[in-house]
Amino acid sequence: MLNRDKHKIPFRLKVHRAKNTPYFRFFDNIISRIKPPKKFKGIPKKVLLIRNDKIGDAMVTLPVMRTIKYNYPDIKIDVLVSDRNEFLFKNFSYVDELIKFSPEGWDTDKLRNRIYKFFFIGHILQFIRFFLIPYFFNKKFKQDIKSLKTRNYDAVVDLVGSRRNIVLSRMISKFTVGSKVFGLFWLYSYYIKTNWVTTINEDFMSRKIGNAMSEALNLDLSQKNKSLPLLNFEFHKEENIKTDIIIHLGGSVYRKFPYEKERELIKSLSDYRLIITDAGNTEGFRNLKEEFKNFSNIQFKLYNFITDMLEDVAGARLFLCYDGGQAHFISQYIKSIVIFGSGSLPLWKPYEFEDYQAIERSPAGAVAYKSKGQFGHVAIHYPIWCNPCFDIGCETRPCLGNISIEFVKSVVDKTFNANA
């Protein structure tokens, strides 16, 4: 049940949520009748996946790619990757060819000018600045697109859903697949019934992607390889457990507890052998390191790259983190507890091919869900009406505020004891 405690949310979020109201869906339905989705005729031989975004997005795509190759080993699957996620696909044996495509401005997280964040207008400005202008005035940009077109893909699957990728996919192939991007989905040959991320998600993103490709490309993906990990990086594996819990504090501001609450979390778990890490040497990380410097069982450690964590992960019992790329990557190797704030739990809870069930509820209404899969991952979430908020955020952040440290500790203790 969603919590209905009303609070002030930004106008931009109100507009995002309005797109799922009957009024807006009415216009989408008219467009759908004029140009309904069309499936690919036959089975494609050569497919390009556009996945030039983040680590977490890449990770949830890997099970689908493996399943396709498991059922159709002769289908050639190429992937358009970004600087950020290229390392994942490089170590994935179910990719035929990688094509790195990370032009200026295509990593939206690095756009600091707030005008690019404005609803609709910001998206149009991004399209003009980082697609139209380079296409007409940057020879290399235009040549890169032309080179993609000459590869003669039977189908292009746009797994991102930005205006740039919609147009890019149309330039590359006659048959394109994507989500129901508001007002623009008719540009695809085949589109699913919703956008990739919406306020009405009820299932894993991996399953959503798999169902979309199965329907659009006439693929029978009923036979699955459910083994983990998905990626077999080489690293030294400890024979003995040296760490009880690795706590990763990295994440955007709308996915993280405030500093005071992170300090309370570490203090509550200070009887365990801990490694505390973060995405970078932030002020909060430095302050926490100073505050707990006299605890011999707590180690503060930063890693140059996420794969550098694997040796310590191999010698630990639990991984505790916020929703994000680190959760999707590390959870393929170790039992994980993931705290959700602004993100959609149904879509992004760690995927290990089995469903989750509620196991514990706090007095404030936060819920812990446990996977029935191999590791038995746990996701902690406060179900509230404004979630997901697409990292737009709000001032009060009740999604995280209603997850108490006492509740997190209770879930950690029970998970750790069961795992031990």
What mean pLDDT do residues 293-306 have?
A: 97
What average pLDDT does range 28-44 have in this prediction?
95
Cα gap 363→60, rounded to integer Å: 32
Q: How many helices (H) and strands (E) does the chain have?
A: 16, 14
Whole-structure pTM value: 0.95
What does the pLDDT look like over 286-298, one tens digit per residue? 999 999 999 999 9
Contact 337, 377 (CB under 8 A): yes
Rounded mean pLDDT, 284-310: 97
Q: Let me know the angle formed at the C-alpha of 245 by 239 and 250, rounded to the nearest 5 degrees.
A: 120
Which pLDDT belongs to residue 45?
98
Asked if pLDDT for residue 112 goes beyond 90, the answer is no
pLDDT of residue 243: 97
Q: Average per-residue pLDDT in the chain?
A: 94
Average pLDDT (197-204) is 91
- Residue 330 confidence (pLDDT): 98
Of the two residues 306 and 183, the one the predictor is more confident about is: 306
Helix axes 163-172, 139-149, angle to 10 degrees: 50
What is the rounded CA–CA span in Å between residue 385 and residue 200? 10
Both tokens assigned to 209: 């992607």
pLDDT at residue 5 is higher than 80: no
Count of residues in the chain: 420
pLDDT tens column, 45-58: 999 999 999 999 99
pLDDT at site 1: 67
Q: What is the DSSP letter of 384?
A: B
Q: Between 212 and 240, where is the model more confident?
A: 212
β-bridge mates for residue 176, sequence order: 156
CA torsion angle for 334, 370, 4, 6 (degrees, to 10)?
-10
Residues 138-167: tens digit of each pLDDT: 999 999 999 999 999 999 999 999 999 999
Give percent of the chain with pLDDT exceeding 90.
Answer: 84
Alpha helices by DSSP H, listed for 194-317, are 205-217, 259-268, 283-291, 310-314
* CB distance 398 to 370 below 8 Å: no
Taking only the tens place, the pLDDT of each residue in 338-385 is 999 999 999 999 999 999 999 999 999 999 999 999 999 999 999 999
Distance CA 333, CA 246 (A): 13
The pLDDT of residue 19 is 78
Are the beta carbons of 195 and 160 closer than 8 angstroms? no
Does residue 227 carry a pLDDT above 80? yes
- Find tokens 């977490």 and name the residue: 56
**Tokens representing 176?**
């394109």
The answer to whether 214 and 68 are in contact (CB under 8 A) is no
Which comes out higher in pLDDT, residue 256 or 198?
256
157 has which bridge partners? 49, 177
The full DSSP string for 295-330 is -TTEEE---SSGGGGHHHHHTEEEEEEESSHHHHHH
Give yes or no for residue 389 having a pLDDT over 80.
Answer: yes
- pLDDT of 109 reads 78
The pLDDT, as a whole number, for residue 16 is 84
| Per-residue pLDDT, 405 | 98
What average pLDDT does this structure show over 157-182? Answer: 96
Q: Residue 32: is its pLDDT beyond 70? A: yes
Give the side-chain half-sphere CA count within 13 A for 236: 3
Nearest CA among 373, 372, 366 for reference residue 410: 366
- The residues with which 333 forms a beta bridge, in sequence order, are none
pLDDT at 91 over 80: yes
| Distance in angstroms (rounded) separating the CA atoms of residues 204 and 180 | 17
